[in-house]
Chain A
Amino acid sequence: MPDDAFDALRAQLGGTAPDALRRLSAAELTHLSQAIRGARRRESKALAQAGERALGHIPRLLRGPVRKIVG
């Protein structure tokens, strides 16, 4: 159902989505929702990996304070 797919997209976008997008088919709305979800996952994964990589470049003396802040 396009309405369900629109609601799912709206949820992905934190509760708001341009009303004009209701003209899209359910398949297109779902594709868009998945593209947003995929981008979020890729960014979260990149962030986790970057945190690990960063520690390797930080002098040992500073790693403790940095870990404490990052948590």
Chain B
Amino acid sequence: MSRAADLLQGHGEVLKLARLLGREPDELAYLEQFSPPALRELRDGVTKTLYDSDGGSLQRLAAATRVLPAGLTATLGQRAFGPLLSARLAGMLEPGRAVDVAAKLPPPFLADVAVELDPRRASELIAGLSAGLIADVTAELVARREHVTMGRFVGHLHDAALIAAIGAMDDRALLEVAFVLEDRSQLTRLLSTLPRARVAGIIGAAAHEDLWLQALDLLNHLSRPQRRAMVNATLALGEPARTTIVQAIVDHDLWQEAALIAKHDDTLPATLSDALRSLPARRRREATEAARASGLQGV
């Protein structure tokens, strides 16, 4: 991952932590200097602390709901517990019963719960939800631009649910979710389910929304045919898009990613050389060295 992508990922981690602590992200800006893995370790520690803090009381509350019908438990979730406590309780209910309760709750409330939930503690529940319900909740989360939340859930969805979730995302949301995916090893799985048209759509979104950093970061995780499809989609966008992608490569030092593109587009090194000529001499020298070190020949 490039340094720029690392910084953006780190920012995403600070957003997650701020949400967990009920703080504004700006208050925790001093954490942005740390690597994404260190921030993830901190967030895991905070999550454990908060979940364990009232563990006994929550367990008793979860046990009490066993004597209640699923419909009444759903009502209590909405009217008495609210999204935060419902999220804490979700992983403590017997999974089959939790699925029954979830099915009786409206998608907007489930989206509220999803924002607060640690999916690792409710994995069986998430795996038991129907693809239709997953699609409805995803649509809510997309409307709220909750990319970070969606990124935490991907690894816990069964295949049909993942396809339904992707179907509920527009191209921009899909790109943003892929970039902030909690479990990066799931990226290949996510991308392998994509129809070819969606790859072109992601590229279009990157061009229109200036999200090339996110799009180029994906290149490292694509199979060779997917990468070719992505490069072809980029070339099909024409010269304006090509100019912005070259600018993103130079601005963010995305030389490794550029080397991957150059395998499918042999005109890229010459275009990059032209772009580098406009840089001050020292910066140009450093960028050229970095490009060559990444295996980008002809720059």
- A residues neighboring B (CB under 8 Å): 12-14, 16-18, 20-21, 23-24, 28, 31-32, 35-36, 38-40, 42-44, 46-47, 50-51, 53-54, 56-58, 62, 65-66, 69-71
Also in contact, A40 and B30, with CB within 8 A (given A18-B42, A54-B76, A62-B68): no
Once the chains bind, are A17 and B42 in contact (CB under 8 Å)?
yes
- Decide if B192 is an interface residue (CB 8 Å cutoff): no
CA distance A51 to B62 in the complex (A): 11
Main secondary structure of the interface of B (DSSP, over half): helix
Once the chains bind, are B54 and A43 in contact (CB under 8 Å)?
yes
Report the interface size for chain B: residues with CB under 8 A from the other chain.
Answer: 40
Closest 4 CB pairs of A and B: A54-B80, A53-B80, A13-B45, A69-B64
| Chain A residues within 8 Å of B75, by CB | 57
Query: Given A14-B52, A43-B50, 9 other A-B contacts at CB below 8 A?
Result: A13-B45, A18-B34, A21-B34, A24-B30, A46-B84, A47-B61, A58-B68, A66-B64, A70-B64
- B residues neighboring A (CB under 8 Å): 20-23, 27-28, 30-31, 33-35, 38, 41-42, 45-46, 48-50, 52-54, 57-58, 60-61, 63-64, 67-68, 72, 75-76, 79-82, 84-85, 88
